[in-house]
Amino acid sequence: MTSRLRLLVYLALCTGLSTIPVNAYNILLAVPIASKSLHNLFTAIGENLVNANHTVTLLTSFPPSFSHPNFSSLNVLGEVPQPKYNVFEMRDITKAIEKFTQEIFFIGGIMWDNEEVKEVWNKRNSFDAFLTPSYANEICMPFLLNYTGHYMIVSTPGVEYSAMSMAGNWLPPSVVPSMILPYDEYMSFFERTVNVIAIPFLYFYTKSFYFSYQQKFMEQKFPEIGSLESYYSRARLTLINGHPALDSPVPLLPSQVEIGTINAKPAKPLPNDLEEFMASSGAHGVIYFSIGSIAESADIPIRAKLEFVEAFRRLPQKVVWKYEGSDLELPPNVLTRAWLPQQDILGHPKTRLFISHCGNLGTQEAKYHGVPVLAVPVAFDQPRNAARMVRKKLALSLEWQTLTAQAIVDAVNELVNDTTYGARLRTISAVLQDQKESPGARAVWWIEYVIRHHGAPHLLYPGKRLHFLQYVSADVLLFIAVCCYVVYRILRSAVVVAVGAWRGRLKETKKKKL
């Protein structure tokens, strides 16, 4: 080999090696209070990170769903089973918060008695970054005590008012509905009025009930913890589980990055028996029915279950139903399983419709795969998600209280036979799959960026340090109003005195003339 050729080979090797990341980071993801879908969202973030050569530790309350040499998953509950509850009994937001608070005490008590968790906590400064959801996981805040790495949050509901305000981005309530309201961004005057009331109500209710109970609980474990709520303001990056095609365009800060559909994947081949069932549906196709991971179809009120069974009996489509029980007499066109590969079914060419509770990840997957939705929202943010899809003519929605077999049949027929629903969703699907980089790659790049640049302080919005009243200049406006009032009172008094003096002189003049 000539010296010239050796030089060319050396330069080629150097060029190739220069594209390999120099730094591999150690990252901690914590989501102990979560539904299975939220666990899956954090798992997707972790999977993208380990595929980029980083090391990831996930604190969760579910078994791991994938394996990798750089990935370790720690179930904070140990051998204790995951607590279960009936979501149909939690449709009132105050009851839901109360139930979540009980779950937090239960999981938090076990978590901080877990020796493996304590070991991770003791070496917390070995992690370059620490990520939690933007709500409900405040029991993880002790990891931020004297923490020298970089804290980041994941806004799991997407563009949500309170999560955005944590970074100082006070979005207008005229276009961003509260998570607890069944509204989309196109609100009427009445809806905007309700929203303006609901946003501070939810904030003060969670602050006085939810945060106060958690604060007392965590102070028993960590007396030096300080205000749990204040830790969110330390976040250097917000990863938002959203996208303009999923929600609507809103002004975001440089430190707020959308990664919606990071969990969505192309469909894989189905198990043979399920594939045979799907293929046997003929031209009518298949309806997929699931109310997600946080609820179980077995918990559906018996009256509603019987209405669904009767509706399915009347329909020509075959039905694949995620159902955990065996208490129903099902028609031959219905197949039930306790677990089903949701994305592989949604991406199957025979799938015509998704009957869904409209959880955030489920609706994203429906849009990603271009499948119309019959919404049957139960609780939490599901009514809002359903309302958004209905108003954009991507779905129809039914209420559990008034559910009938005929209403189900009519809604299914409209969604399946009216091709405009599918056409709109295929348009959204094309948009979601036409991005300059995948949501996973985007999340990884921004996490790396914040670590590389020591927390990226140049991205932090100055408005973050301001209270809402300061942010909207309410204090300044009040000061100006007070000043104007004082000036008005002074001028008014001066005018009264001047007029009084003038009248006095006028009277004296008249007396002299007399």
Tokens coding 241: 């589980």
Q: Each residue of 425-438: pLDDT tens digit?
A: 999 999 999 999 99
Note the pLDDT of residue 114.
93
The whole-angstrom separation of Cα 358 and Cα 386 is 6
Distance CA 45, CA 154 (A): 10
Question: Which of 146-160, 168-182, 403-417 has the lowest average pLDDT?
Answer: 168-182
On the question of pLDDT at 136 being above 90, the answer is no
CA-based nearest residue to 96, from 62, 136, 40, 155: 136
List pLDDT tens digits, range 285-335: 999 999 987 778 888 889 999 999 999 999 999 999 999 888 889 999 999
User: CA-based diameter of the chain, in Å?
Assistant: 131
pLDDT value of position 467: 80
Q: Read off the pLDDT band of 18 (50, 70, 90).
A: very low
Q: pLDDT value at position 407?
A: 97
Q: Which domains does the chain possess?
A: 24-262+438-468 (3.40.50.2000), 272-432 (3.40.50.2000)
**What is the per-residue pLDDT across 159-215, written as a single tens digit (0 to 9) for each?**
888 888 888 888 889 988 888 888 888 899 999 999 999 988 888 887 777 788 888
Band of pLDDT at residue 91, cut at 50, 70 and 90: low
DSSP state of 79: T
> For position 132, what pLDDT does the model report?
96
433 exposure class (CB count in 10 Å sphere: 0-12, 13-18, 19+): middle
pLDDT mean over 486-499: 91
pLDDT at 7 > cutoff 60? no
Instruction: Look at residue 2 in the predicted model and tell me its pLDDT.
Output: 55
Residue 38 and residue 65 in contact, taking contact as beta carbons nearer than 8 Å: no
Residues in the chain: 514
d(CA 90, CA 84): 12
